[in-house]
Structure formats: structure tokens, C-alpha cells
Structure 1
């Protein structure tokens, strides 16, 4: 289902909120691409709101493997979960990344002062739970082809909500290795899935750009219902 194209996601701050966020104690910071902002196991007492760029949230395994849990996009709130102060996930700047950043203490005070920030926090938890449910279903039950299509449709829909899509396509900085780590596949398998989606005239992924060729047909094929992104 793709009937919610024009409804903004409630878990994001709009431009009018930026000065307000700064007044509540959030500072605008910039991180170069590939910077590890929060390392797994590190003390994690910060909250981030993505201003621009792409972030990557992953769980690292022994031997250098990782499972990408989500990609943080413009307007997303990143709340590193913690076990007495340490993060079980790594948060990396996938591209050059600008974020509004605050300590968890400042964020807690902001939620007490601002119904908007308190609402944002609760909506973020609901939003993240919905994304995790879909990503778990992807790697656990969907076929390699449908999970690849589903993730690329999800990214398109999330970017569309913040003006990041033009002419049914979007810039995507992810490599086939990144997609493999997000989808539970090998890079070679990802390459085959992208080729098959292109041959079926559903989507193209070339030179860092994803173009949806038949949105209605690929949404039906992938079982993609965009309501989980907005709810």
C-alpha cells in the first residue's frame, strides 16, 4: 500500500523546530563520513537528531561481522540503548553527517519542559519498534529478492517524507556490502538480487542512485505497506 505519500512522519522535527531544539540545549555537530560516533560497549549518554546525511546503526560480532539494524536519515532521532551506561550498538556516520546532539540528561530535561520533545520521544520509540519488526521479518521470513526490494522501498519512502526523492529516485550511498549486512545476505547475492530486480523492470540501482521503475508493482511484489513508517 502506498496511499500515504503526502503525510509527513510525526517522528521528525521540521525546520521550524530547529531553533527551539537549540534553545533546549542541543548543539549542531558535524561528523565526517565513516566516523564512529558511538562505539558498541562505549558509555552512551547522548541523544542525536539527524539534520543531514546518513547514519548507520549496527551490532558488531566477533570476527568483524556486523548486522546493520537501521539507517538513520534526516529528522530521525537516534537514542543509543544502554545497559547501565554502555551501548550494545554502534552508530557510524555513513556519509558526512550533521546532527543536533545533547546529553541524555539535557534530553530528559527537555522532555520535561517541552510537550513537543516528550511527544517526539514516545513517537520515536513506536517508530523504531515498527522498523525493527519489519527488518526482523525481512531477514527471518522474506525471500532474498523481496527483502531487497522491501528495504529499498522503505528507504525511498522515508526519504520522500523529508524531501529526499526526485522523479521517483533517490541518492543512496550504500554499497553492496552495506546492503548485505542489512539484509543478511552476501554481497554476491545482493548483486544478483539487484540484477534480477532490474531485469524484472522493478527498480534500478546504478552509481549510487536508486530508481523505482514501477512503484505499484514492486510494492505489491515486496508486500510493502508504508503505514508502518508513519504510525
Structure 2
């Protein structure tokens, strides 16, 4: 029923190639996205070309670019080829009001976003580089397991060491060391 409601309300399927910027930080944005397949990346762009990855968007996730006065505070990029359903925020709000399940997904998304921010703050503020690296891989495993993308206790991870560095607040060289140490510790 929810899938039919989404289609009836005009959600548009879109496909993006890997590394395509979907929403630029600072642009007008009243759109939201439901990820159908692939990996997306939500980041905050910093002066000098650096970025802090805030979260990865996976199948089933709702991406609501944070905005202030209608301008996106984050950049949303297709990490891999990404298929999404796109709608205006207003359209999604109408859909959520007609479906308790969609409304609960909105609440779940907001709670998830707050939890991710809290974990990122804890990572960069108090966790060791090794602990924050392990934490990210375990978080991804848990999320991917929920959507059936874990097989034999492993999962496909398209992230580069540069992506991991931007998500963990480390240098790519330090990430390399942490990955080596995690492998050594099995």
C-alpha cells in the first residue's frame, strides 16, 4: 500500500552514476530521497576542499538534506551507481500524513540522523582511531544486515581509504594503518 501511495503521489525514480553530486551544500533544496539501491554519501564541505562525511545512505534509507531557510547544509553524492525515488518535501509530508508507516519512517530517519551525529561526535572527540574505524565497519554491517546485504558475516564495501578518512576524521595513511591493525587482530 505504501509503495502504491508513493507512486500515486508523484515520487519520481532517478538513477545517478557513481560520484554524481545530487544535492550541493548551499543550493536551494526542498527534495527528499528514498534510496532503492546503491550507496550514497552525505557530507559537509569545508573550506579548502575538505569534507566531513556525516553518513552513508543505503537501500531503504530516507535522505532529507538538512536545510536552513531552504538551502542545503549538506552535500549528497552517489557513492556508487544509485537509484532513488525523489519527491518534494511537501509531497512526502502529504504521503506521510496518509500513511502511519511512512510517518514512522520519517521519525525513524530523524532519530537515526541524530544518533549518527552523536556517534560521530563521540568518535572524533573520545574514541581512538582503531575504535572509531572498527565502530564504522560494525555500524555498516548492522545496517546492511537489516536489509539483507550481509552474506557469511561479510559485506561489499565500496568505500576507499579516502572515504573512510573523511568519515573518521583521520588521514588516509592513518586509516591504512588502522585497517592493517584490524586485519592483524582478525
1:78 corresponds, among 38, 63, 77, to 63
Aligned partners of 2:97 and 2:144: how far apart in 1?
A: 30
Q: Would the aligned equivalents of 2:2 and 2:102 in 1 still touch at CA under 8 Å?
A: no
Q: In 1, distance between residues paired with 2:10 and 2:107? A: 19
Residue 99 (structure 2) aligns with: 114
Matching residue of 2:127? 142
Aligned residues: 186
User: What is aligned with 1:223?
Assistant: none
Which of residues 108, 123, 136 is equivalent to 2:108? 123
Q: TM-score, length-normalised on structure 1?
A: 0.78
Match of 1:208 in 2: none
Q: Does 2:14 align with 1:37? A: no
Q: Corresponding residue for 1:188?
A: 173
Map 1:36-115 to 2 at 5 A. Answer: 36-115=21-100
Is residue 35–residue 59 contact of structure 2 (8 Å, CA) maintained in 1?
yes
Query: 2:177 aligns to what SS in structure 1?
Result: helix
Q: Is contact 2:33–2:62 with CA below 8 Å preserved after alignment?
A: yes
CA shift for structure 1 position 138: 1.1
SS at 1:167's partner residue? Answer: coil
Map Cα deviations across residues 72-95 of structure 1 (whole Å, 9 max, x no partner).
001011001111110010000000
Please give the secondary structure, in 2, of the residue aligned with 1:34.
coil
- For the residues of structure 2 that align with 1:111 and 1:169, how far apart are their CA atoms? 34
Could you tell me how far apart the structure 1 residues matched to 2:119 and 2:144 are? 17
Report the Cα offset of residue 112 of structure 1: 2.2
Q: d(CA) in 1 for partners of 2:133 and 2:104?
A: 32
Bigger helix share: 2
Q: What TM-score, normalized to structure 2?
A: 0.96
Are 1:22 and 2:22 counterparts? no
Q: How does 1:197-208 map to 2 (within 5 A)?
A: 197-201=182-186
Superposition RMSD in Å: 1.1
Verify the 8 A CA contact 2:18 2:82 in the aligned structure 1: yes
